[in-house]
């Protein structure tokens, strides 16, 4: 049995981990009600007092990208100081740590996909807080894997898929950003990858190639406009979609500036783990079917 101590119980990844766990993997999830992520001492105690644990997963984060501009301390507390406390406690116990990060540590100025060691330059507080979390984790735990992800979607929580399915029902014209590009990623596929590698990571020693930065995203690149057209065709086959107009990011000014290129390269994922996640469209179709089954 490999036991994973998971920070986070209600987010997209956290719920997928709990839904997909099966022997010989057990996920022990800690909610924010059980551990105050703004209290580093409480975070450290959770690791110290966790008993027979083989691996720690940080699936919790402050994710309000625009709100973070006016709440920097809250963003840094959860996204940087809490992971630092986890990393120090894991190092003290000799435990490996998987920490989830984001494409938003990059500024989007690169013409091609970003590899793990490309220079970072976050454009906003959220991205800067996540970068600080990456640095803290890698700096304080010698068996740490920082998995960068992008544009997560699932049948749980709030995400673009859920928003669009509701918004498109009205049939009113929609304007959708078409100049931001990324690799949409299914939270379920991310969870499946973590669960499939849990035993390997629990046994990997310090200095092994598994540790460090890793981009874990589905195959294929899309904009929000691309996603919307695909989602509607899958969810409502044969129906006429509402008018959808592709527009630039500048059409929707936001407190936090968005990078136009958020595409993450997955070469290291393939080289080290022998894994390439499936095309995002396949994962999207499965997620839409999951939602439909839940409503039936």
What count of other Cβ atoms lies within 10 Å of the Cβ of residue 113? Answer: 19
The whole-number pLDDT of residue 169 equals 87
The whole-number pLDDT of residue 294 equals 87
**What does the buried/exposed string (b/e) look like for 187-226 if buried means 16 or more CB atoms within 10 Å of the residue's CB?**
bbbbbbbbbebbeebbebeeeeebbebbbbbbebbbbbbb
Tokens of 244: 């959808």
* 126 is a catalytic site residue: yes
Instruction: Please provide the average confidence, as pLDDT, over all residues in the chain.
Output: 97
| pLDDT band, very low/low/confident/very high, at 157 (cuts 50, 70, 90) | confident
| pLDDT band, very low/low/confident/very high, at 115 (cuts 50, 70, 90) | very high
Q: Which of 62, 76, 126, 156 is catalytic?
A: 126
Distant-in-sequence, close-in-space partners of 253: CB < 8 Å, separation ≥ 6: none
Enumerate helices (H) and strands (E) in the chain, giving the number of each: 10, 12
Angle, in degrees to the nearest 10, between helices 224-235 and 280-295 = 50
- Residue 19 pLDDT greater than 90, yes or no: yes
Summarize pLDDT for 27-42 with one digit per residue, the tens: 999 999 999 999 999 9
Largest CA distance in the chain: 58
Contact between 129 and 80 under an 8 Å Cβ cutoff? The reply is yes
Contact between 58 and 97 under an 8 Å Cβ cutoff? The reply is yes
Summarize pLDDT for 68-91 with one digit per residue, the tens: 999 999 999 999 999 999 999 999
Tokens of 239: 């129906």
Q: Report the Cα 99 to chain-centroid distance in Å.
A: 9
Summarize pLDDT for 165-219 with one digit per residue, the tens: 999 988 899 999 999 999 999 999 999 999 999 999 999 999 999 999 999 999 9
Tokens of 271: 């080289």
The whole-number pLDDT of residue 171 equals 86
What percentage of the chain exceeds 70 in pLDDT?
100
What percentage of the chain exceeds 90 in pLDDT?
97
Q: Is the peptide bond before 6 cis (omega within 30 degrees of 0)?
A: no
- Residue 139 pLDDT greater than 80, yes or no: yes
Summarize pLDDT for 212-266 with one digit per residue, the tens: 999 999 999 999 999 999 999 999 999 999 999 999 999 999 999 999 999 999 9
The whole-number pLDDT of residue 192 equals 98
What count of other Cβ atoms lies within 10 Å of the Cβ of residue 71? Answer: 15
Number of residues written out for the chain? 296
pTM of the model: 0.97
Mean pLDDT of 150-154: 98
Beta bridge partners of 138: none
Mean pLDDT of 89-100: 98
DSSP state of 31: -
DSSP state of 81: I
Distances (CA, A) of 156 to 34, 165, 290: 21, 13, 10
């Amino acid at each position: 049995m490999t036991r994973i101590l998971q920070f986070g119980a209600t987010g997209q990844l956290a719920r997928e981990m709990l839904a997909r766990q099966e022997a010989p993997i057990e996920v022990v999830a800690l909610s924010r009600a059980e551990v105050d992520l703004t209290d580093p001492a409480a975070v450290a105690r959770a690791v110290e007092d966790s008993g027979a644990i083989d691996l720690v997963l940080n699936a919790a984060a402050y994710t309000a990208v625009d709100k973070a501009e006016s709440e920097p301390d809250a963003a840094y507390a959860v996204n940087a100081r809490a992971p630092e406390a986890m990393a120090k406690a894991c190092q003290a116990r000799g435990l490996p740590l998987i920490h989830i990060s984001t494409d938003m540590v990059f500024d989007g100025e690169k013409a091609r996909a970003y590899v793990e060691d490309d220079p970072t330059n976050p454009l906003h507080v959220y991205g800067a807080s996540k970068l600080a979390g990456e640095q803290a984790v890698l700096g304080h735990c010698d068996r740490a894997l920082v998995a960068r992800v992008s544009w997560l979607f699932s049948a749980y929580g709030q995400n673009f898929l859920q928003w669009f399915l509701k918004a498109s029902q009205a049939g009113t014209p929609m304007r959708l950003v078409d100049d931001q590009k990324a690799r949409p990623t299914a939270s379920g596929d991310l969870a499946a990858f973590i669960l499939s590698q849990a035993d390997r990571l629990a046994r990997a020693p310090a200095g092994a190639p598994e540790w460090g930065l890793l981009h874990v995203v589905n195959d294929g690149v899309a904009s929000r406009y691309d996603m919307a057209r695909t989602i509607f065709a899958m969810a409502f086959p044969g129906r006429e979609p509402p008018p959808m107009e592709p527009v630039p990011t500048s059409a929707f000014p936001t407190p936090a500036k968005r990078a136009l290129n958020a595409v993450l390269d997955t070469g290291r994922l393939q080289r080290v783990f022998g894994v390439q996640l499936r095309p995002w469209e396949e994962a999207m179709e499965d997620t839409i079917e999951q939602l439909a089954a839940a409503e039936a």
